[in-house]
Structure 1
Amino acid sequence: MSDSGELGYADRRRPAASFDSREDFLNHELEITNVKRWGINLPFRDFGIEVEDWVPALAATIGKIVMVTAMVAAFAAQYGLSPEFIAENVRFELLIAGALFVVLFSAILNPAANLAGTHGPMIPLIPLIALAGGHPLALGVMVGVFGLLLSFSKGGSRLVNATGEGVRGGLLIYLGAVGTISQISKLGSWAASIEMSAVSFGVIVVTIILYAYLARIQKRWLAIPLCSAIAGIVAFAMGAPFEFVTEPGLPNMNPFYWWGEDTGWQLGWPSLQHYIAVIPFAVLAVAMWSPDVLGHRVFQELNYPPKAKKVLMNADDTMAVASIRQIVGAGLGGGNLASSWGTYMIPAAIAKRPIPGGAILTGLLCILAGIFGYPMDLAMWEPVLRVALLVGVFLPLLEAGMQMVKDSKNSQSAGICIFSCAFVNPVFGWALTMLLDNLGLIGDKERPKQLSKLDGLWLPLIAFVVCVGSLALVGQLPGIPALL
């Protein structure tokens, strides 16, 4: 029983056998889970751990290995660092994420915050960051500082509330469609590179059939482990090459090694000039957080029962945890840039699970993958990787976006959002369409009247100016040279 006298999770929990269906049991679990923000939450006292929690844990671990590798490799290419550096830093990041943050913050201290993952949209900007004289540690610290400022000012939750359903739907449709096409294209390119193009066709056909069947029997939460496993089996059976190459071991955990002049990053500690150089990139990174958080919370709202309000992720807390993780992780020597963890939150929402149970399993899997090494090879094998991202992230994004476009007003906002995203990028598309929507120029003209002037006008206007200004500074507006 809680301190207030209200029955707690453990007191209200009922065995799954007492429900008519597994879905009824999972909905009940969501309704009775009442985690504390910035307090001590313990498994089986404040939340449960069920077999469904393994699904987002597996998806998140695959996504973490892939995305951190891509980010660290992008940095390494700019600073002339070796493949051995990449493998060791990815291992280090898996241990940082698993041991320090996933379990400690998103399971124990604040399960209202989504896990702090990897900021994928920043990967293409890394060459520009290096060219501008940026330093990975300076960038990480500045992203964390700006993120904490946004979190403390409640800017994240206000921006989520200021974004209408049509804009949300358009953003999700764009991200889902572009991501789906990209993953299929990359799988096809890989198959062509090994002169086995039929492998790509076979894997995708099997994935489509299996995913459709799981949707038909309402077991879509099993899509990631099943589709990924079958994709790997099909590819291997068709003759695609695979071997384990990353041996067990531990990375160097000394920050002075990572930020030494001749060791680790071989860059030394950053100077004031380095911090100044990364400011526009850090502002842009934090500006990208709001549409990220928005898209992930939508999945909870679509899949959780209406009474499960207390387990919805908190936008400001998610940004605060990502900021703290960013500062500490960069200070220790990691090469990750943090954001809301999509490959965790989307499968968790589809599986109808709250954040903390799967967070503990994710932390455990990240630690094991970092130590044993071999799981990193399997997660990064193209058939497994591409199918996991397809069925775990991009197809659900596409489906959720289409569910949100329910009438002509929403479809108008969604269409303009997709158009704007395609013209520049999702950050520009979201900021511009949110502003137009709140001005009443598109979409539901009655919705802005329900918002305060701050939330309905000034906040979207400030977000638009900040986003466009940051994009202009780093040369991300079509036809306009970088102002930096």
Structure 2
Amino acid sequence: MIDEDLRSYKERHKPKRHFATRSEYLDHELSIMSPKRWRLNLPYRDYRFEYEDWVPAMAATIGKIVMVAAIVAAFAGPLGLSNEFVIENARFEMLIAAVLFVVLFSGILNPNCNLAGTHGPIIPLVPLIVASGGHPMALGIMIGVLGFILGVLKGGSLLAKLTSNGVCGGLLLYLGFIGITSQIARLFAWANGFDMGYIAFVVVFATIVMYAYLEHIRMRWLAIPLGSALAAVIAFALGAPFEFTTEPGIPNMNPAYWWGEDTGWQLGLPSLHHFIAVAPFAVLAVAMWSPDFLGHRVFQELNYPGKAKKVLMNIDDTMCVAAARQVVGTSLGGGNLASSWGTYIVPAAIAKRPIPAGAVLTGLLCVVAALWGYPMDLAIWPPVLSVALMVGVFLPLLEAGMQMTREGKTSQSAAIVIFSSALVNPVFGWSLTVLLDNLGLVGDKERGQAMTHVHRWIIPTVVFAILCGIMLAIGMFPGIPAMLESFRVLD
């Protein structure tokens, strides 16, 4: 008799009619999958396409347009580059991501790698990076090299193991709440800009009712497409201004154009001093990966059935692919800063779908959006953008955080994470609370006793000290001036 676990996915697959509910069928699909790591994975032999895969694909495409444009715009502003440059570079980046990495890696070669997305938390630091003499290519290459080293040495999974449920749950709660409030504020700022603030209220209120109903009928995986469509229809019907301006076309694909002294970024190639200037920011950006990647994997664990261990995201492999995507994309001329693709993995987990099928569809939609042009205008329209992020990322993060902090021991650690993150940022909150939690000062006192001294306090202390030194150097502690600026004044 053949062991059930040794049979292939194709042999173990059962038609939908064999299951009482759609949810049971999707759970079974997740349980029987066994993706091949760094080998060929083919549709219908190793995984199947389902209509639920379109949900994370659409959410990821909307999120990609928005986040890449935000990163490039953050660079373009201080450098004096136009909005046309931002759109052109964002379209170029989407083609790089879709053709070279999304389909090739997450869809074919390693379905346990989450898609390489955009590093949203680094956006507020971009003007400071430019002011410090940073160069987009130097920053991208350094992030890629450091991230690849961390992934190869399995540092990401190690840091994930040292992070308790309480710490991770607190991070999810903080990021979810901050994200929700910021998107609501942006939506009202947009509507008040043309003296129609009530549009924002109606859109958010309708979104709340829609999300609650989808929760009631257990179809919240439809929240992103329905929410985006609902927001667009309401805003347009109430008179909000909108027009299509981005025409179809192919962006410039020549790296020499993007890194020319008089074309593209108008910066030329970086020199040694550019790499020195961006070093602290690159270390901090890679340090932000661990809590971000951990949160995405935990979200899968909370939504997938217990037997679906083989389809969970591999943190270290995802880091390696994100790092490779960073170096390649930057070298070709793109301005994106890579990370785990949250606007893909969160909706995919909610829809109970594995990574590969949705990855292929995401690649297809990114190519269509980049070449067609018009979808980019709709995706970055504030009501569509804000609602998609709220229901697709931030509300699910809040729910996952609440699930992880139900017990008294975990809630203690969660409270400290939120407290310290509010003081500085999530990187500070995560690294400090991991140290306090593993020492047994907060959370589960018995958890730290089962660890070695290296895992209990040496690694957390070193990580916390390094991150604090970097944040102190670049001025991220409130009320304390940047040490790098102080040194420049002394010089």
TM-score range, shorter chain: over 0.9
Q: Distance in 1 between matches of 2:68 and 2:289?
A: 17
List aligned pairs for 1:59-70, cutoff 5 A.
59-70=59-70
Q: Distance in 2 between matches of 1:378 and 1:355?
A: 26
Other-structure match for 1:210: 210
- SS of the equivalent of 2:264 reads coil
Other-structure match for 2:298: 298
- SS of the equivalent of 1:356 reads helix
- SS of the equivalent of 1:266 reads coil
List aligned pairs for 1:367-382, cutoff 5 A.
367-382=367-382
TM-score w.r.t. length of structure 1 = 0.98
Q: Which moved more, 1:57-66 or 1:34-43?
A: 34-43
Indicate yes or no: 2:108 matched with 1:100: no
Other-structure match for 2:15: 15
Residues 317-363 of structure 1, C-alpha deviations (whole Å, 9 max, x = no match): 11111100000000000000000110001000000011011000000
Q: Distance in 2 between matches of 1:327 and 1:291?
A: 22
Q: Distance in 1 between matches of 2:204 and 2:293?
A: 29
List aligned pairs for 1:36-185, cutoff 5 A.
36-185=36-185
Q: Which moved more, 1:305-314 or 1:78-87?
A: 78-87
Question: Offset of 1:142 from its aligned partner?
Answer: 0.3
Other-structure match for 2:423: 423
Amino acid in the other structure paired with 1:461: T
Amino acid in the other structure paired with 2:80: G
Amino acid in the other structure paired with 1:262: D
Q: Which runs of 4+ in 1 moved over 6 A?
A: none
Contact 1:142 1:282 in 2 (8 A): yes
Amino acid in the other structure paired with 1:139: L
Contact 1:437 1:443 in 2 (8 A): yes
Question: Offset of 1:454 from its aligned partner?
Answer: 2.5
Q: Distance in 2 between matches of 1:447 and 1:259?
A: 51
Question: Offset of 1:483 from its aligned partner?
Answer: 1.6
Q: Distance in 1 between matches of 2:248 and 2:452?
A: 56
Residues 366-409 of structure 1, C-alpha deviations (whole Å, 9 max, x = no match): 01000000000110111111000000011111111011112111
Question: Offset of 1:5 from its aligned partner?
Answer: 9.9
Contact 1:287 1:466 in 2 (8 A): no
- SS of the equivalent of 2:445 reads coil
Q: Distance in 2 between matches of 1:89 and 1:412?
A: 44
Other-structure match for 1:201: 201
Residues 411-465 of structure 1, C-alpha deviations (whole Å, 9 max, x = no match): 1111111000000000000000011000110000111123333322222122212
Other-structure match for 2:395: 395
Question: Offset of 1:170 from its aligned partner?
Answer: 0.7
Q: Distance in 2 between matches of 1:325 and 1:451?
A: 35
Residues 162-182 of structure 1, C-alpha deviations (whole Å, 9 max, x = no match): 101111111110000111011
Q: Distance in 1 between matches of 2:246 and 2:59?
A: 20
Structure 2: runs of 5+ lacking an equivalent: 485-491
Using the aligned pairs only, state the percent identity.
65
Amino acid in the other structure paired with 1:406: R
Contact 1:159 1:455 in 2 (8 A): no
Distance 1:5 1:17, change over 3 A: closer
List aligned pairs for 1:404-423, cutoff 5 A.
404-423=404-423
Q: Distance in 1 between matches of 2:47 and 2:440?
A: 42
Q: Distance in 1 between matches of 2:195 and 2:339?
A: 37
Q: Distance in 2 between matches of 1:137 and 1:50?
A: 39
- SS of the equivalent of 2:179 reads helix
Other-structure match for 2:449: 449
Q: Distance in 1 between matches of 2:285 and 2:12?
A: 41
Amino acid in the other structure paired with 1:241: P
Amino acid in the other structure paired with 1:229: A
- SS of the equivalent of 1:278 reads helix
Q: Distance in 2 between matches of 1:213 and 1:468?
A: 44
Q: Distance in 2 between matches of 1:461 and 1:49?
A: 45
Other-structure match for 1:190: 190
Q: Distance in 1 between matches of 2:39 and 2:483?
A: 45
Q: Distance in 2 between matches of 1:80 and 1:179?
A: 28
CA RMSD of aligned residues (A): 1.2
Residues 75-115 of structure 1, C-alpha deviations (whole Å, 9 max, x = no match): 00111111111111011011011111100111111111111
Other-structure match for 1:339: 339
Q: Distance in 2 between matches of 1:26 and 1:452?
A: 40
Other-structure match for 2:433: 433
Question: Offset of 1:316 from its aligned partner?
Answer: 0.5
Amino acid in the other structure paired with 2:182: S
